[in-house]
Amino acid sequence: MEKKKLSLPVQILVALFLGIVVGLICYFTDGASFTANYLKPFGTIFINLLKFIVVPIVVLSMIEGIVSMGDIKKVGSVGWKTVVYFLVTTAVACVIGFIFAVIFNNAGLFPALSLEEGVVWEKATSADFMTTLVDIFPTNMWTSFSSATMLQVIVISLFLGGGILAAGEKAKPFADWISSVYVVFEKITAFIITLSPIGVFTMIAWVVATQGTEILGSLALVLLCAYLAYIVHAVLVYSLSARLFANISPLEFFRKAGAAMIFAFTSTSSVATLPVSKQAAASLDCDEQVSSFVLPLGATVNMDGTAIYQCVATVFLASCCGIHLSFGQMAIIVVTATLASIGTAGVSGAGMIMLAMVLNQVGIPVDMIMIIYGIDRLFDMGRTSLNVAGDISCAVCVNRWEAKKAAKAAK
Ligand code: ASP
């Protein structure tokens, strides 16, 4: 008889549940050191693998994205409006996420854990704006890669992508090579992701065994914080832009975008939701030409929900390891999370991998991700739904601006 394989999300949930059970047993039987010595190392292996793919994935996907926009000049007018809309709404999303995270943190709702066993991290140092600005520009490409300094890695990717476009025909073999290597890394990523149940089981068992039941309440709180921010962003930003820019009532917008948002909620992939988003945009009278440019681009680079999640998770994890974030670091997080969300692929769980980049940037140990890894699917459902709503909202606004421009030109 053929065995039925559980889907990955179900495997992760089972791993989470078993990990909590084992963690609680160890907590109540003084077995925390067992989890630290024999379970956590497997979680660490998983984390190491995640860290290993982050840099190549960021570089390759950003270059791919830029190269595929090669004819952006042709779509110039739609292109720049779209990009400005994406950037502004994502930055607003980061700020909203931050405000909620800081409120929760200041209200003492995020825990400070005592993870003395085996976790070593450098305290984040505060940096002023000008130093940060200078530090974004690399002096040595390989050093940036090997130290995973993500803002530098992004700048390098932008240069490489721009260089390929500028070089034109001659750079085609290089662009093809990048595409091919990207496919290879996507396969490796997919394989590593299949190992996540092991990572989830071992790490959550260790966290619960060393921290006790308190951590479970904290996870519920950080989830609540992210969802409050998701909702506020949707209501504030998308309602306003629908009303002000697209002349559509917010109710109508959400009613018609609803199916795509629900589909995104269950599929946790903006890319997989594309066909449904297209229908939603059409039902909101968005021109096919505009939506077929804006929506695929949005599904790859516009991630407001992911940006919120990354800000909330970063503040939460900083609190967990007792790092007090300075104002400068918060600004860095907003910038990095905006960029990280752009670099996030529109597939399930990608935002969590990119979170490593934000954490790196402010000196929070990437291992901390495992604390929230087990419930990532729950974050992902909400953030993907928001990501998709953001894409549709952009499409209807740009559509309206273009229509106005055409009407003016016709006069
Ligand atoms: N799942 C999200 C999306 O497809 C990306 C993420 O993981 O944040 O939009």
pLDDT score recorded for residue 115: 54
Q: Which atom of ligand 1 is nearest to the CA of 273?
A: 4
CA proximity to 351, closest of 274, 263, 268, 261 = 268
Q: Whose CA is nearest to atom 2 of ligand 1?
A: 384
CA proximity to 61, closest of 344, 280, 387 = 344
Give the mutation target among 380, 388, 392 for probing the ligand 1 site: most ligand atoms within 8 A of CB.
Answer: 380
**Range 14-37 average pLDDT:** 89
Indicate if the pLDDT at residue 121 is higher than 60: no
Angle at 252 between CA 86 and CA 303, to 5 degrees: 20
- Say if ligand 1 is within 6 A of residue 357 CB: no
pLDDT band of residue 215 (cuts 50, 70, 90) is: confident
**Range 236-261 average pLDDT:** 92
Indicate if the pLDDT at residue 119 is higher than 60: no
Report the mean per-residue pLDDT for the chain: 83
Q: Which atom of ligand 1 is nearest to the CA of 345?
A: 5
Question: Which domains occur in the chain, in start order?
Answer: 8-113+120-405 (1.10.3860)
> How far, in Å, CA of 398 to CA of 246, rounded?
8
pLDDT score recorded for residue 92: 94
pLDDT score recorded for residue 321: 83
Give the mutation target among 306, 339, 378 for probing the ligand 1 site: most ligand atoms within 8 A of CB.
Answer: 306
Q: 227 is written with which tokens?
A: 């969802």
